[in-house]
Amino acid sequence: MNLNEFTIENAHEGLKKKEFSSEDLTKSCLEHIEKVDKNINAFITILKKEALDSAREIDKKKDFKNYLAGIPLAIKDNMSILGVRTTAGSRILENFYATYDATAVKKLKEAGAIFLGKANMDEFACGSSNETSYYGPVKNPHDLERVPGGSSGGSTAAVAANECIAALGSDTGGSIRQPASLCGIVGLKPTYGRVSRYGLLAMASSLDQIGPLTKTVKDSAILFQTIAGQDLMDSTTTPSNSPFVRGRKSDFPLLIKEGVGEVDGFLSEIEKDIRGLKIGVPKEYFSAEMEGLDKEVRKRIEEAIKKLEKLGAEIDDTISLPHSPYALAVYYVLMPSELSSNLERFDGVKYGYSNRSGKTLLDNYMDTRGEGFGAEIRRRIMLGTYALSAGYYDAYYKKALKVRTLVLQDFLKAFERVDCIVSPTSPTVAFKLGEKINDPLSMYLGDVYTVSANIAGIPAISIPCGMAKPKDGKTPLPVGLQIMGKHFDEATILRVARNFES
C-alpha cells in the first residue's frame, strides 16, 4: 500500500510509531497528484513548497498526539487560506489572494494538518457536476468520461483518487454528499451552525455548511470534531446542548487523552452498536413524486436498509415527510435569492476581475460581471433577483420561506418516532460529462434527496453502499446511502454509518 492511500487513522498510527515521516506522506501525495491530476483536474492551486515546508516543521516537533498532525489535506477553493489564491472556481477571483484564514482552516492549522492545495469546484459552488468551474471540469476517478458530482467535485475526486488523505468541502444543497455518493467515499454535512462559515465565500448563507470528505466514517468523525464548535466570528454558530461540541465544557464522560481530548470520546460513541436504534424510511422518497430514482440505485438502497436491520436496528417504513417533494422548488427559490445578494459585492471596483473599458460606471459593472461570471452564475443571479424584486417577493421568496418551515416541521415530527432517517443520496450513479450541462432542470433534479437536509438544517452523511451499472454503460459505479439525523446529533448518524461500514 502506498502512503497516499492511507486513511487519517492509519497514517496517524504510522506517524506515531515513526514508520514514516510527515514529509514522506506529503511527498507520496504530491507525487501522485503530479502523476494523475492532469487527467482528473481535481486541483486549481497546488501548494507543493508550502506543504513540504509544513511537513518538515511537523517532523521536527515530533509531536503526533493529535490525529491530524502531519496529515496532508485538500481544501475546497471557496475557503480562505492566508496568502493563498482563493478563486471559488470563478474568473472574477482569478487573482485574489486571501488575507486571512477561514476558521475551519485555522483549526486544522492548529491541529498540525498539511495543505496540499485548493481543490477545483463548480463556480461559487453552483452546480452538481463540477462542470461550471472556470478552470475546467473535474473527472470522476472511477470513469474519466463521467462527472464526480458537485460542487465539491475537486475535493471528492482528490480523496477518491488518493491524491490526498482527506479533504474539506462545503454543502449548500448536497455539494458534499452528492459527489461523495458518485465517487464512492464518505461525505458529512454537519448541522447548520455546527461549523463556522467565517472565511467561506458565501453562496447561500442560510444553507451553506463546511464538512469533511474522507475515505472512512472514522476519518470523517476525526475531521468533524476538529473543525466543529462555536466561533465569535460567525454569529450563526452555536454551542448547542450536544456533549460533542469542541471548545466547551461537557457533562458527557469523555475519554480524555493529552493532545487528543474530546475526539476520543466521540470516536468511542460512534463505535457502539445500533441494536435498538429506530431508523425511518420515508415513503415519499421511494414514490413517483421523487423523480428519476434509478432501479439499480433503489435496489442497492433497499439492500442497505436490510443490512441495517440485520445489525439490530428497527426499521420504520411508515414515517412520512409529506412536504419533501416541494423541497427542491423551495431550494431553487431561496438559494438563487441569497446568491444574488451575496454576489453583489463582485463589481470590479473593490477587488477581483475588472473590465474598465466602458464609457460609464454602469458599462464597467455590466462588462465585469458579464465576463467574470459564467453562464450558470448569471442564470442563478437573474432567478434570485427576480424572486426578490418588488411584486414577486411575496409570491416566491416569502412563500418559499413558509414551505421551508413545513419541511422542517416534517422532520421534527418524524424524529419523535425515529433516531435517524435513510434515503438514497443521489437518484442515479455518475452521469457522463456534458450530458446535463445544457439541461439545467435535469441537473437540478440530481439534488432531490439532499436539499431537504439543508433546508431543515439537520446533519446528514453519505456512505458507499455498493455499485450499480449505469443505463449507458457496463462498468458498475458507486451508490451512496444517505443517513439524516436530529439537529446536533452527528454522533448517531456517524454511529449508524460506522456500523454499516464495518
Q: Which amino acid is at 431?
A: F
Q: Give 399-436 pLDDT, tens digit per residue.
A: 999 999 999 999 999 999 999 999 999 999 999 999 99
- Residue 457's region, left for phi above 0, alpha for psi from -120 to 50, else beta, is left
Looking at residue 289, what is its pLDDT? 62
CATH superfamily of this structure's domain 3-246: Amidase signature (AS) domain (3.90.1300.10)
Residue 270 to residue 461: CA distance in whole angstroms: 13
Looking at residue 179, what is its pLDDT? 98
What average pLDDT does this structure show over 144-168? 98
Residue 211 to residue 227: CA distance in whole angstroms: 8
- The sign of the dihedral angle between the CA atoms of 10, 16, 22, 25 is negative
Which residues are identified as catalytic?
76, 151, 175
Residue whose entry in the numeric block shows the C-alpha cell 456534458: 434
Confidence of residue 446 (pLDDT cuts 50, 70, 90): confident
| Helix or strand run (H / E) with residue 187 | strand 186-189
Please tell me the number of Cα atoms within 13 Å of 94 on its side-chain side.
Answer: 13
CATH 3.90.1300.10 segments of the chain:
3-246, 278-329+394-501
Q: Give 60-111 pLDDT, tens digit per residue.
A: 999 999 999 999 999 999 999 999 999 999 999 999 999 999 999 999 999 9
DSSP states of 395-452 as a string? IIIIHHHHHHHHHHHHHHHHTTT-SEEEEESSSSSPPBTTSSTT-HHHHHGGGTTTHH
Mean pLDDT over the full length of the chain: 93
Looking at residue 250, what is its pLDDT? 38
Looking at residue 291, what is its pLDDT? 67
Residue 109 to residue 103: CA distance in whole angstroms: 10
Question: Does the pLDDT at position 443 exceed 90?
Answer: no
Residue 426 to residue 408: CA distance in whole angstroms: 21
- The sign of the dihedral angle between the CA atoms of 448, 332, 338, 206 is negative
Looking at residue 1, what is its pLDDT? 86
Q: Are 479 and 464 in contact (CB under 8 A)?
A: yes
Q: Return the bridge partners of 187, or none.
A: 213, 462
Q: Give 235-294 pLDDT, tens digit per residue.
A: 999 875 455 444 333 333 332 233 344 677 888 889 999 999 999 999 988 876 666 899
Confidence of residue 30 (pLDDT cuts 50, 70, 90): very high
Looking at residue 212, what is its pLDDT? 98
The CATH number of 278-329+394-501 is: 3.90.1300.10
Q: Are 47 and 117 in contact (CB under 8 A)?
A: yes
Looking at residue 252, what is its pLDDT? 34
Residue 115 to residue 106: CA distance in whole angstroms: 11
Looking at residue 292, what is its pLDDT? 82
- 262 versus 449: the higher-pLDDT residue is 449
Omega cis (within 30) before 151: yes
